[in-house]
C-alpha cells in the first residue's frame, strides 16, 4: 500500500513541478522524415545526420517544487559535432504543438547557419541568428513569435538578484535584437537555458574514440534497430581500469548516497550480454566512463582471431597487393596507396543449377527482360522518315526568315531498332552484418544470394554485358574483393555455383571497393556504364574508417566514378539510409528497400527502370 501511494505521489509532484507542456509535446520522430531534407535545403552541412541528443545538466536555479520532486536538473538542447546534428528528442517548451514544431524548424535553420562556432556562447548564437534571418528572411516573423512566447515563459529580470538579473536582461536583448550584446557575465548560477539557441557546452568525448569490435548493423524491424532509433549521444570519457583492491567491501555513508559515486567492477566484454536496467542507469549518469580490461577482453580477441579462416580454407587469391588511395576529409587530401585490395574467388565452388525455389520467378523475369534485347528508338533531325520533326521544322523556318541558309536540313523523325549499348557492374556488400536474420525466416546473405541469382538470370536474357562482385574488409590492408562473375564470363552453372557459396565477410570499407569496381567498369567501351551498389549499412571498419571519415571517403569515391563517366546507384535495406545516402549519391541516386525479403524481386525491376531509355 505504501509503495502504491508513494508511486501516485511521485507522479503527482513530478507532473506539477515540470515546467513544460506535456499535452503540446512534439517528438523528433514526428519530424524525422523532413528534418534532414530541411536542414540541407537551408544550407546545412550535407555530411551531418540528424539524431536525438541527450539531456545535460544546466546548473541554473530550480524552483522549490523542482527541488522537492528531484526534476529540472537537465535539459535537452541542440548541438552538433563532426558527424551529427543532435536535436532534443522531444519539445514541450510552448503550450501549443504548432509552436514546438516551429521550434524544431528554427533549430535546424540556426544549426545550418552556425557561422561562428568558436565564439562565446551568446555571441555565437546571435551571429547564427543574424545569418539565418539574413539568408532566410521568411523566417523572421516566425522567429519573432517564438521569441515573444519564450520571453513570457522566462523569469523576469526584476525578480532576480543583481548579476543574475543583468545576465537575464542581456539574454532578452540578444534574443530581441541579435547582435546587440557583445559582453556577458553570468551570476553565481548559470542563467536559465535558452531553447532557441545552440548548447553552450555541448557534450564531447574526452577520451580516444576507439571502435567497438562488432561489425553487425541493426536490421529493419529488429529490437536492436528500435533501440538504435531511440539511442542518444552521451558524454563519455575513456579512463584506465581502476584497481579494485577490496572488491567485496564498499565504505560509504548512507546520508551521502546522493553525492557520492562508487566504482564497481563489472565484466561486460560481449555485446550479447543484456541488462534491462542499463539504459535507465545510463540516463542517470552525466558522463559514461569506459575502460579496457586486458583480462576481460582477451577471450574476445582470441575468439575474433579464430574466426579468421586459415589460408588453406580461405578463398583463392587472384591478385594481391592492389594499392588504392583513400580520402582523408580531416586533412582534405587523397592519401595515395593507402589501402591494399585482394582479388579473390571461391575456392571450392561447384557448378550447380538454379535452385528450385527460384525457377518460377526466374522464368517470368527472362520473359520480361527478353523484350529489352532490342528496342525502337526515335531518331530526330533525319533527312527522311515517317513523321515530321516539329522542332526541326520550326528552327528551319526561323533560320529562313533570318536569312540563314541550311543545306539539306533534317526535318523528319525516323523509328529504328537499335541494340542496347550498356555495361553494368553490381557490387554487393558481404560484410558481417549480412549474417542477421530477416523476419526470422532467412539471413540477409541468403536474400542477397537470391537477388544476385535472379539479377543474373534477368540480365542474361537481355544480352547486356554485366559483372558481379562482392566485398568486405578487415582494416585498410585487407580489403577483400570477391569475383562472382566477370564481364567476359558467361552466366552459367559455374557462376551460379560461386553465388551459392556466398557467406558473410567482415567489415565495410566501401570507398576502396567502389574505386576498384569503377576502375574495372571504366575499361568497358559501352555508351552507358552503370555501377550498382547493394548494401545493408554504413561504411565501417575496425580502424578509424567509421562515421564521417568513412562516409566522406565513400562520397569521394562516388564523385571519382562520376568523373569517369559512370553512373553510380545504390540499393540499400538500411532503414537509416536516408540520413547519409543523399550526401553520398544525391537525392535520386539511391533507393531504400524497406522489406529486405522483397529485394530479389525489386532488384531486377529497378534495373529495368534505370535502363529503359537506353
* DSSP per position, 58-126: ------HHHHHHT--SEE--BEE-SSEEEE-SEE--SSSHHHHHHHHHHHHHHHHT---TTS-HHHHHH
Q: Which of 150, 176, 202 is the last residue of a domain?
A: 176
Give kind and range of the element (H or E) at residue 7.
helix 2-17
Give kind and range of the element (H or E) at residue 86.
strand 84-87
Tens-digit pLDDT profile for residues 178-195: 999 988 887 778 889 999
Residues 102, 37 share a domain = yes
Residues 591, 498 share a domain = yes
What is the pLDDT, as a whole number, of residue 47? 84
Location of C-alpha cell 518460377: 360
What is the pLDDT, as a whole number, of residue 254? 47
What distances in angstroms separate CA 3 from CA 9, 13, 16, 69, 70, one per listed residue? 10, 15, 20, 17, 18
Show the DSSP H helices in 534-598 as ranges. 548-563, 581-585
In a domain, 588, yes or no: yes
471 closest CA partner among 343, 338, 310:
343
Burial of 139-154, coded b for 16+ CB within 10 Å and e otherwise, reads beebbeebbebbeeeb
What is the pLDDT, as a whole number, of residue 256? 47
What is the pLDDT, as a whole number, of residue 322? 94
In a domain, 154, yes or no: yes
E strands present in 187-312: 236-238, 288-290
In a domain, 460, yes or no: yes
Residues 51, 161 share a domain = yes
Number of structural domains (the chain) is 4
The C-alpha cell at 214 is 562488432
What is the pLDDT, as a whole number, of residue 71? 81
What is the pLDDT, as a whole number, of residue 452? 96
Going by DSSP bridges, is the β-strand pair 442-443/412-419 parallel, antiparallel, or unpaired? Answer: unpaired
Residues 556, 480 share a domain = yes
Burial of 544-582, coded b for 16+ CB within 10 Å and e otherwise, reads ebbbbbbbbbbbbbbebbeeeebbbbbbbbbbbbbbbbb
In a domain, 186, yes or no: no
Residues 516, 441 share a domain = yes
75 closest CA partner among 92, 58, 51:
58
Q: For the chain, what is the largest distance between any 2 Cα atoms, rounded to a whole number of angstroms?
A: 103
Distance CA 153, CA 166 (A): 17
Domain that holds residue 600: 348-370+420-610
Residues 382, 248 share a domain = no
Going by DSSP bridges, is the β-strand pair 333-345/316-328 parallel, antiparallel, or unpaired? Answer: antiparallel
In a domain, 317, yes or no: no
What is the pLDDT, as a whole number, of residue 578? 78
Q: 3-state DSSP: the chain helix, strand, coil percent, rounded to 5?
A: 40, 20, 40
- Is there a contact between 52 and 89 (Cβ–Cβ < 8 Å)? yes
The C-alpha cell at 45 is 552541412
What distances in angstroms separate CA 388 from CA 45, 385, 402, 406, one per listed residue? 49, 7, 22, 17
In a domain, 190, yes or no: no
Cα-Cα end-to-end distance for the chain: 76
CATH number, domain containing residue 438: 3.40.50.410
In a domain, 498, yes or no: yes
55 closest CA partner among 88, 27, 94:
88
What is the pLDDT, as a whole number, of residue 108? 96
What is the pLDDT, as a whole number, of residue 307? 55
Residues whose CB falls within 8 Å of the CB of residue 454, separated by 6 or more in sequence, listed in order = 358, 361, 362, 365, 600, 601, 603, 604
Answer whether 0.75 is exceeded by the pTM. no
Instruction: Classify residue 301 by its DSSP letter.
Output: H
Residues 7, 147 share a domain = yes
In a domain, 338, yes or no: no
Instruction: Classify residue 433 by its DSSP letter.
Output: G
Residues 593, 604 share a domain = yes
Residues 132, 27 share a domain = yes
Residues 462, 391 share a domain = no
Residues 473, 395 share a domain = no
Q: Which of 176, 209, 235 is the last residue of a domain?
A: 176
Show the DSSP H helices in 343-419 as ranges. 356-370, 390-401
Going by DSSP bridges, is the β-strand pair 333-345/479-485 parallel, antiparallel, or unpaired? Answer: parallel
pLDDT < 50 stretches in the chain: 206-231, 248, 250-260, 262, 269-273, 296-306
Residues 381, 272 share a domain = no
Amino acid at each position: 500500500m505504501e509503495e502504491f501511494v508513494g508511486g501516485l505521489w511521485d507522479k503527482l509532484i513530478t507532473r506539477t513541478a515540470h515546467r513544460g507542456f506535456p499535452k503540446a509535446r512534439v517528438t523528433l520522430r514526428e519530424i524525422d522524415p523532413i528534418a534532414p531534407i530541411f536542414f540541407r535545403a537551408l544550407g546545412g552541412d550535407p555530411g551531418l545526420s540528424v539524431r536525438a541528443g541527450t539531456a545535460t545538466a544546466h546548473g541554473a536555479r530550480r524552483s522549490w517544487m523542482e527541488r522537492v520532486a528531484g526534476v529540472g536538473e537537465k535539459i535537452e538542447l541542440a548541438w552538433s559535432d563532426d558527424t551529427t546534428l543532435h536535436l532534443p528528442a522531444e519539445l514541450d517548451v510552448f503550450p501549443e504543438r504548432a509552436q514546438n514544431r516551429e521550434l524544431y524548424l528554427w533549430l535546424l535553420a540556426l544549426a545550418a547557419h552556425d557561422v561562428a562556432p568558436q565564439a562565446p556562447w551568446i555571441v555565437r548564437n546571435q551571429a547564427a541568428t543574424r545569418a539565418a534571418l539574413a539568408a532566410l528572411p521568411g523566417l523572421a516573423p516566425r522567429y519573432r513569435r517564438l521569441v515573444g512566447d519564450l520571453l513570457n515563459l522566462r523569469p523576469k529580470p526584476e525578480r532576480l538578484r543583481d548579476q543574475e538579473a543583468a545576465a537575464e536582461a542581456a539574454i532578452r536583448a540578444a534574443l530581441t535584437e541579435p547582435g546587440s550584446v557583445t559582453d556577458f557575465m553570468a551570476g553565481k548560477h548559470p542563467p536559465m537555458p535558452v531553447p532557441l539557441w545552440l548548447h553552450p557546452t555541448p557534450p564531447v568525448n574526452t577520451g580516444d574514440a576507439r571502435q567497438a569490435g562488432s561489425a553487425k548493423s541493426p536490421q529493419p524491424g529488429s529490437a536492436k534497430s528500435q533501440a538504435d532509433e531511440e539511442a542518444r549521444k552521451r558524454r563519455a570519457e575513456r579512463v584506465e581500469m581502476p584497481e579494485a583492491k577490496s572488491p567485496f567491501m564498499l565504505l560509504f555513508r548512507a546520508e551521502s548516497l546522493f553525492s557520492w559515486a562508487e566504482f564497481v567492477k563489472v565484466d561486460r566484454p560481449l555485446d550479447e550480454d543484456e541488462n534491462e536496467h542499463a539504459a535507465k542507469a545510463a540516463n542517470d549518469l552525466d558522463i559514461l566512463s569506459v575502460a579496457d580490461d586486458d583480462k576481460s577482453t582477451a577471450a574476445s580477441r582470441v575468439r575474433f582471431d579464430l574466426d579468421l579462416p586459415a589460408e588453406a580454407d580461405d578463398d583463392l587469391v587472384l591478385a594481391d597487393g592492389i594499392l588504392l588511395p583513400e580520402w582523408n576529409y580531416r586533412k582534405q587530401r587523397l592519401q595515395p596507396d593507402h589501402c591494399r585490395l585482394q582479388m579473390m574467388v571461391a575456392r571450392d565452388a561447384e557448378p550447380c543449377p538454379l535452385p528450385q525455389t527460384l525457377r518460377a520467378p526466374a522464368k517470368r523475369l527472362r520473359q520480361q527482360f527478353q523484350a529489352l534485347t532490342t528496342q525502337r528508338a526515335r531518331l530526330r533531325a533525319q533527312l527522311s522518315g515517317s513523321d515530321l520533326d516539329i522542332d526541326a521544322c520550326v528552327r528551319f523556318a526561323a533560320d529562313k526568315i533570318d536569312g540563314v541558309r541550311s543545306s539539306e536540313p533534317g526535318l523528319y523523325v525516323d523509328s529504328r531498332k537499335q541494340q542496347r549499348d550498356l555495361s553494368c557492374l553490381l557490387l554487393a556488400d558481404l560484410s558481417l552484418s549480412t549474417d542477421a536474420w530477416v523476419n526470422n525466416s532467412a539471413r540477409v546473405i541468403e536474400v542477397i544470394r537470391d537477388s544476385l541469382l535472379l539479377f543474373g538470370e534477368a540480365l542474361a536474357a537481355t544480352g547486356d554485358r554485366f559483372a558481379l562482385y562482392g566485398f568486405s574488409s578487415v582494416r585498410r590492408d585487407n580489403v577483400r574483393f570477391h569475383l562472382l562473375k566477370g564481364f567476359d564470363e558467361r552466366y552459367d552453372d559455374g557462376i551460379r555455383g560461386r553465388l551459392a557459396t556466398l557467406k558473410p565477410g567482415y567489415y565495410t570499407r566501401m570507398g576502396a571497393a567502389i574505386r576498384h569496381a569503377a576502375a574495372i567498369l571504366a575499361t568497358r567501351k559501352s555508351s552507358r556504364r552503370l555501377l550498382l551498389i547493394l548494401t545493408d549499412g554504413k561504411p565501417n571498419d575496425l580502424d578509424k574508417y567509421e562515421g564521417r571519415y568513412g562516409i566522406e571517403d565513400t562520397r569521394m569515391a562516388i564523385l571519382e566514378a562520376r568523373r569517369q563517366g559512370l553512373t553510380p546507384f545504390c540499393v540499400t535495406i538500411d532503414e537509416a539510409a536516408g540520413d547519409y545516402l543523399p550526401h553520398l549519391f544525391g537525392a535520386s541516386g539511391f533507393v531504400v528497400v524497406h522489406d529486405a525479403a522483397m529485394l530479389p524481386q525489386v532488384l531486377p525491376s529497378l534495373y529495368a527502370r534505370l535502363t529503359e531509355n537506353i
